[in-house]
Amino acid sequence: MDEDKVIKEIIELRADVDEIKETMVTKKEMNRVYDTLDVLVKLAKKKDQELTAVTHQQKLMNNDIARIKPLVGLA
């Protein structure tokens, strides 16, 4: 390779490195993403547990209502 080609390649590589540095995520930024995801996953699990409990409670109440209706003349 002649000197001009080497210089051109170095300039292109420098531009590529600059673009990578500009667009890549840092370890600190990734940790913030993971921390946020951890919070969201915990919240989703909690909501799922609450929904399961509420659904179970609703089933129990529906059973109670079905047993009470005939006693009060609504069935």
Q: Does residue 31 fall inside a structural domain?
A: yes
Task: Domain of residue 42: give its range.
Answer: 24-75
pLDDT confidence of 1, banded at 50, 70, 90?
Answer: low
Q: Does residue 57 fall inside a structural domain?
A: yes
pTM for this entry: 0.63
The tally of domains found in the chain comes to: 1
Q: Does residue 68 fall inside a structural domain?
A: yes
Q: Does residue 34 fall inside a structural domain?
A: yes
Say yes or no to pLDDT of 19 above 90.
Answer: yes
Q: Does residue 56 fall inside a structural domain?
A: yes
Q: Does residue 16 fall inside a structural domain?
A: no
Residue-wise DSSP of 54-73: HHHHHHHHHHHHHHHHHHTT
The sign of the torsion formed by the CA atoms of 25, 29, 34, 40 equals negative
Q: How far apart are CA 10 and CA 26, in angstroms?
A: 25
Question: What integer best gives the mean pLDDT of the chain?
Answer: 96
